[in-house]
Amino acid sequence: MYRKITDKSTVSFIKPVKERSLAGFTMLEILIVMAIISIILGITIPRFNRSSAGVKLKTTVDVVVEYLETAKSYAATQHTTCAVVYNLGERKIYLMKKDIDDVDGDGDKSEMVQFDNIYTVASGITINFTADSQVAFNSSEGTEDAGETITVSNASINKQKTITINQITGYVQVA
């Protein structure tokens, strides 16, 4: 429906308000969409944080087990002592071996020297050894420590994993 203006000098047509095309969104529509997005984010962000905390725990356990297996293997193949050490102050895990080749050139072949690979423990992760923050393997594949147990935990998700090393065989088990 169009109204015709009767003025002879200009002829134009005006659309009634009902039939105008309205481009864009109203403020109410935008607020509703923002509220829906906020609700979705409020549900998913805590779940994401919990899952990333679980990944930190699993990664740390995997690294500790890998270091234990490497130390056991190195001690057996090189006929020496190799240890996995946790430095609590620096929150680092690293491997140490007896300096049988006198790498540092000081003439002492009984001291322990550090390997290059160092793992920094993620924040929120706690590691507890039953003995003195290290597990040493000797050349006969067993541990020098009596049945060492390592507990890796993450308080934010209230989970922990226990790593047990058999004193005789050096077998590493995660529970």
Q: What is the CATH number of the domain that holds 129?
A: 3.55.40.10
Is the pLDDT at 34 greater than 70? The verdict is yes
Q: Over 80: is that where the pLDDT of 105 sits?
A: no
Assess if residue 161 is contained within a domain: yes
Residue 2, in any domain of the structure: no
CA–CA distance, 154 with 128 (Å, rounded to integer): 12
In a domain, 34, yes or no: no
- Residues 38-90 have pLDDT tens digits of 999 888 887 777 778 888 899 999 999 999 998 888 888 888 888 888 888 88
- Tell me if 32 is assigned to some domain: no
Note whether residue 17 is domain-resident.
Answer: no
Please give the tally of structural domains in the chain: 1
- Copy the structure tokens of residue 56: 């930190």
CA 49 – CA 42 distance, rounded (Å): 12
Whether residue 139 is contained in a domain is answered as yes
pLDDT category of residue 1 using cuts at 50, 70 and 90: low
For residue 27, pLDDT over 70 is answered with yes
Give the tens place of pLDDT for each residue, 116-162.
Answer: 788 989 888 999 888 778 888 887 656 666 578 899 999 888 899 99
Residue 15 has pLDDT above 60, yes or no: no
Cα(133)–Cα(124) distance, integer angstroms: 18
Identify the burial level of 86 via C-beta atoms within 10 angstroms of its C-beta, where 0-12 means exposed, 13-18 middle and 19 or more buried.
buried
Tokens encoding 64: 């500790």
CB 160 within 8 A of CB 151: yes
Structural domain contains residue 12: no
Note down the domain range covering 108.
58-174
Q: Is 15 part of any domain? A: no
What pLDDT shows up at residue 44? 84
